[in-house]
Amino acid sequence: MTSAANAGMPEQGSGDRLRQARADAGLSVVEVAARMRVPVRVVESLEAEDWSRLGAPVFVRGQLRSYARALGLPADALAGVPASAPIEPPQLAPRTFVSPLQRFAEQAARRLVYVVITAAIAVPVWMVTRQHVEVAQPESASLDIVPGAESDLTAAPAAAEQARQRHQRPFVASMTPIQNRKPAPQPPVGEPALSLRFSGDSWIEIQAADGSSVEQALVKAGERRSYAPGEVGRILLGNADAVEVRQYGRVQDMAPYQRANVARFTVSSDGSLAPASE
């Protein structure tokens, strides 16, 4: 039985006629597809009468004529296609008319929503930022009075007025007198910037800051090496457990620079140590 969906398609049994015609011509499916210049699935669909994979009836008839030409037969020898079903014109659905005034109102409403959302986010952020900017930064001042400052203030009215204005601003008091603040600690006098003391035999490689070699040797137990600031840039110590490294007389921990009993570290101009890459 032929359904309405297959109206205009070849009759049942057309696939068998195609297959028999191909067999009589001694051709395979692949050879016919090559002659038709179509995929193999198109030839298989024609012989299996699977018209749904080939599209509209007009395309099916075209493929049948191409199939016949590939077998050397007349173009309509294998068609057997009845008249195609009438083509119905597409149904046109009417669109709802929207007036220009309504479109303008919708666009204005969308823009108004965007402006309101932007203002709701931007205004609070601006207010918080403005409050932080306007907050006066506290000043730090010593509670001690430098000798002679009181007489200077009484002698200079302009300076006294400036001091009064500064007094009106918030201060963070410091209990440490300015003249008694301790300077940065200085390195011990008489101690080398870097010294090495060997309790066992150790291989050393010493390089200067510019990469030039300072010393490469196997140092015996009991020996020492001392270097001035800036003299050494990089050090490698074999058997690092047998080497004591001192910076201005203070023993340094080699664990951060040691790997498999080999220590690698760099020395800065002030004698401080840092790990070195291999």
Domains defined along the chain, listed by start: 7-70 (1.10.260.40), 194-275 (no CATH)
**Residue found by looking up tokens 């918030």 in the block:** 170
Say if residues 32 and 70 touch (Cβ distance below 8 Å): yes
Q: Are 84 and 8 in contact, with CB atoms under 8 Å apart?
A: yes
CA 237 to CA 243: how far, in whole Å? 8
pLDDT by residue for the chain (278 residues), tens only, comes to: 334 334 444 455 677 888 888 888 888 889 988 888 888 888 888 888 887 777 778 888 888 888 888 887 776 666 554 434 344 455 666 667 778 888 899 999 999 998 999 999 988 888 888 876 665 555 555 555 455 544 454 545 666 676 666 655 554 555 555 454 445 445 666 778 788 899 989 889 998 888 899 898 999 999 998 888 888 888 888 888 989 999 888 898 888 888 888 989 898 877 778 887 76
Sequence-distant (≥ 6) Cβ neighbours of residue 151 within 8 angstroms: none
Q: Report if pTM > 0.85.
A: no
The radius of gyration of the chain's CA atoms, rounded to the nearest angstrom, is 49
**If you write DSSP's letter for every residue of 179-240 in order, what string do you get?**
GGPPPPPPPPTT--SEEEEESS-EEEEEE-TTS-EEEEEEEPTT-EEEE-TTS-SEEEEESG
CA–CA distance, 97 with 91 (Å, rounded to integer): 18
Tokens at 45, concatenated: 């669909």
What is the rounded distance in angstroms from the CA atom of residue 63 to the CA atom of residue 67?
6
The single-letter DSSP state of residue 271 is S
State the Cα–Cα distance between residues 104 and 86, nearest whole angstrom: 45
3-state SS, residue 275: strand
Residue 42's Cβ-count burial label (10 Å; 0-12, 13-18, 19+) is: buried
In the chain, which ranges are E strands?
Answer: 139-142, 171-174, 194-198, 202-207, 213-219, 224-227, 234-238, 243-247, 250-251, 258-259, 262-267, 273-275
Q: What are phi and psi of 219, to 5 degrees?
A: -90, 135
